[in-house]
Structure 1
């Protein structure tokens, strides 16, 4: 039977809502929708580019704990309330995903907290 384990980031949302930051299921890693909150302080910047940087730090930490990294990402989903906020994020996203070229989708939708300007979800496949 394939290994299944959960990865928690310490976000209060995980406990309040009942989910994990990521789930490792065999060689697959599913990272939940992740926002720009700094989970240590539970603060969030007003700037979308700073939020995307923090999103990716949060995702990177989950991937590392799962035994992989951005190079292993096969799917990414970007969720934003305001489509105009997406383009300013492109240089940061390209820095993390440009060489990897995962399948990607951008969706305009409401997010759980009005301070959130972007949420990112990724799926990865661990080598081995």
Structure 2
């Protein structure tokens, strides 16, 4: 099976040895993605801004793979503070309005205390 690797240029991709996304067997697997500003690399203080940035980064990776947020079939949310999740619901319900993926949210620490949300998705490539 042929695999294609997609990078967003995150410093963590090189440091840890992973890809933002991997395309394989008709699927797109997008790594856990956090909310740094795609232009500056700065981490916003607001969980809402981080969520918006995260969805943007995921959307760009999916587009490079030939898919979109509408093709997402599975999403995993990780937040260090459970109470922050509800503030993200309007962003997430808009982003996944058509896809309606299977989803879960867990509470866990992230690699940096500045990070307030991490999102991982799996998408099915649309038929050509």
In the alignment of these two chains, the number of paired residues is 127
User: For residues 39 and 48 of structure 1, what CA distance do their matches in structure 2 show?
Assistant: 15
SS in 1 for 2:57: helix
Output aligned runs, 1:15-94, within 5 Å. 15-94=14-93
* Residue 6 of structure 2: aligned partner: 7
* Residue 106 of structure 2: aligned partner: 107
Give the conservation status (yes or no) of the 8 Å contact 2:80–2:107.
yes
User: For residues 10 and 41 of structure 1, what CA distance do their matches in structure 2 show?
Assistant: 12
Offset, 1:3: 2.7
Gaps of 5+ in 1: none
Gaps of 5+ in 2: none
User: For residues 86 and 125 of structure 2, what CA distance do their matches in structure 1 show?
Assistant: 29
User: For residues 83 and 50 of structure 2, what CA distance do their matches in structure 1 show?
Assistant: 15
> What TM-score comes out, normalization by structure 1 length?
0.96
* Residue 95 of structure 1: aligned partner: 94
Offset, 1:41: 1.8
